[in-house]
A = this chain, B = another copy of it.
């Protein structure tokens, strides 16, 4: 009888509800203990059912990446949403934001004076803003010392500046979370000083990626996303163990040859993310020495440990036969979830629910 035989077809995204519960509670407790606000990033799960569990555990509100994600979560009844992105607001997006602000408290990111003026011009002044600063990831955000100038422009345009935010994305590398947390802390302090110098109270200092979320910084608010599910990146960074992996992709062995096993989950199910330091295109749950050496749209090519001759002490596991089912841990769970319409919720080996990925594809 194949694994999870009540799941009719693979690939399927499975959520282990018990692990999910523990992940949500652990992060909530960590935030509570340190007295910081938790505003989880909903781009990871895109699922109101999971957001409700986060709020029930004490989260103050949700973070989202796009206006369309905010719309989905506002429709589902969530009343406090931060779009952590330096939005460029034209007339169409402004109208959507203004409509959103009538049914939820909406905060948006800005990283330029022009962006602030466009937001005020097209969405009105019912949207509060946080100024994005660059803490070392070098993506978006102004230099922390320039936050005051952007904040002043926003205030001049009539907007309420609620604080500053940063994403320490350079925490995503082996050995990097500690330094990234230090960078984040310094950037948020410098940005707060810059706002004060411009005569604006800094209020919220928002930070926190999953790798840095348990480390102390000057952040008053944390926005981790991946922690709910975990993924192979977090496993390989050492921020979690297999026991904390809540989402896996159930896959079937469709082809076998010479120690190589091919699964029916490819880049259209797992996503194609692969950091330079990753060991492969994901991991096989329970078989730590297996390596996903290649990924096509509907194929994962797995070098099985007993045939690789490069075992690193993991268990000796017989290669699975045709039709066997395995659970794959995607490298980056946020992009894997965005490929699915539904999550199959299990407790132990029993399917207990199906949750829609309501904000799947919400990129606009």
Q: Which residues of A are in contact with B by a Cβ distance under 8 Å?
A: 2, 8-12, 43, 65-66, 85-88, 90, 92-93, 111-112, 114-115, 118, 138-142, 169, 252-257, 260, 262, 264-265, 267-269, 271-274, 294, 296-299, 301, 322-323, 332, 334-335, 338-341, 361, 363-364
Contacts and interface: CB of A to CB of B under 8 A. Distances in A.
Contacts of A141: 255
B323 A118 contact: yes
Contacts of A299: 139-140
Most chain B CB atoms below 10 A, which of A2, A115, A138, A255: A255
B335 A268 contact: yes
8 tightest CB-CB pairs across the interface, nearest first? Answer: A9-B364, A140-B255, A272-B272, A8-B92, A272-B273, A88-B254, A114-B322, A65-B298
A273 B268 contact: no
Contacts of A140: 254-255, 262, 299
Number of copies: 2
A274 B274 CA distance: 9
B335 A272 contact: yes
A264 B335 CA distance: 16
Contacts of A264: 88
Given A8-B92, A88-B322, A272-B273, A112 B255 contact: yes
